[in-house]
Amino acid sequence: MRPEKSRVRRDACVGVLLAELHFPFSRTLKDKRAPLASLRDVVQGRFHASFSEVGLHDAWQRARVLVVLAASSLQQTRERLDDIDRYLHAQEFEVARVALKTADPVDTVWEFDY
């Protein structure tokens, strides 16, 4: 007999942060790669979130990054997004803007039967 699939918690949430970063000391695309790789490693390792550079790939001083995470409650999702936001603002690069920072219950994003 196969075990029943686990159900999604009713209060499960997803969080999204979209930010534009500025690397004033970068002179080439290669100069931008190291801090982005480090940021990706921290976001994935410390914050257990997904990370992707989603825009401005050819700009050597700017990057647009998307961070997505899942958590078991809206409060936990917001706290983790705030932690990531604070981390971004504490780095050597500049946060030009945070275009989107939202946390939503899973059932408002997707409809499914619990």
Tens digit of each residue's pLDDT (9 = 90 or more) over 10-29: 678 889 999 999 999 988 88
Instruction: Count CB atoms within 10 A of the CB of residue 49.
Output: 22
Average of pLDDT values for 32-48? 94
Residue 112 within any structural domain of the chain: no
Instruction: Count CB atoms within 10 A of the CB of residue 57.
Output: 11
CATH number at residue 74: 3.30.70.1120
- Give dist(CA 48, CA 67) in Å, integer: 10
The number of distinct structural domains making up the chain is 1
Residue 4 within any structural domain of the chain: no
Residue-range definition of the domain harbouring residue 42:
13-103
Residue 109 within any structural domain of the chain: no
Going by the DSSP 8-state scheme, the letter that residue 1 receives in this structure is -
Residue 3 within any structural domain of the chain: no
Residue 88 within any structural domain of the chain: yes
- Give dist(CA 13, CA 62) in Å, integer: 30
Please name the residue ranges forming H helices in the chain. Answer: 29-45, 74-89, 106-109
Residue 82 within any structural domain of the chain: yes
pLDDT tens profile 42-53: 999 999 999 999
